[in-house]
Chains A and B, each alone.
Chain A
Amino acid sequence: MGEQKSDSDLAALRDGDEEAFQSLIQRYHAPMLRLAMAYVRDRGVAEDVVQESWLTCLRRLGEFEGRSSLKTWIFGIVINTSRARRRKEARILPFTAFWRRDDSDSDRPTVDPSRFGADGMWRSGPAIWENVPESKVLSDETMQRVKSAIDGLPSKQREVIVLRDVAGLDALEVSALLGISAANERVRLHRARSAVRKMLEEYLK
């Protein structure tokens, strides 16, 4: 479904169809911004990166060969643009500004071990979120907290959770874009979702 939509997008874009471009912006701009923020520290810089990415997409549209979906291609351009910008910033900012503890590829437990008894079974089971009022789950404050939780993750996890769960790319597309194995992609996704879940659990209780 996504592929076919992309193909008709592509033809319309090449024809200069403004509505087609507007619709791409509506669908991809927010995920693109989230993604750029996984690489550069500052929202202003991320906005700049996304703007530049859109311009690059237009400039290179003629070269797009359809070996991936248009969507994957666009997010690939955001990654390249973001990484280039990060390298540039790293030359200016002290290196330590980018150093953070990174457990992205570790197999350490994602749930506090004290939640389980000696037998490995839940000591106190997780809450049923279906009982939390939807107005709270979907409130602006919840969304702010979700954003902060994602912002607090190491880049390796951020790029995966954003590409998968915000941009909606599939596992194969994401591991290919990031040049990581399928297993690595899953570990990072698992850690990222687990971390966001943990934050939500604290907040929703």
Chain B
Amino acid sequence: MTCRQIVELMTDYLEGVLSQMDRDRFEQHLAGCDGCQAYLAQLRMTRNVVGRLASEPIPEATQRDLMEAFRGWKSHQA
């Protein structure tokens, strides 16, 4: 397999859906290819950096409004 083909299989590889045969060929290529190793590391890092968006701060006013809504909901439950 060429690097050009390998890069398009990287998500399937990370998702663990390659067939055993493709996986073996993929890993064989990777073992001997600095470029593809670097690319795979970049994709993993991309995933991690995107994941950091989950911890974006929430405006206090929003939190206050939501907690108030929760209390309102709770008092209707009772």
Contact = CB atoms under 8 A, between A and B. Distances in A.
Interface in A92-142: 107, 109-111, 113, 116, 119-122, 125-130, 137-138, 142
Contacts of A47: 62
A154 B27 CA distance: 32
B54 A146 contact: no
B3 A197 contact: no
Interface string A165-187: 11110010000000000100010
Contacts of A77: none
Given A137-B49, A143-B53, A189 B3 contact: no
A200 B46 contact: yes
A19 B38 CA distance: 43
Given A18-B70, A110-B7, A120-B2, A125 B45 contact: no
A26 B58 contact: yes
Interface of A is mostly: helix
B50 A165 contact: yes
Interface magnitude class on chain A: 35 or more
A126 B38 CA distance: 6
B38 A147 contact: no
B56 A16 contact: no
Contacts of B8: 107, 109-111, 190
A111 B4 contact: yes
Q: Which 7 A-B pairs have the closest CB atoms?
A: A120-B2, A125-B35, A122-B35, A190-B11, A16-B74, A30-B56, A120-B4
Interface of B: 2-5, 7-8, 10-12, 15, 17, 33-36, 38-39, 41-43, 45-47, 49-58, 62-63, 65-67, 69-71, 73-74, 77-78
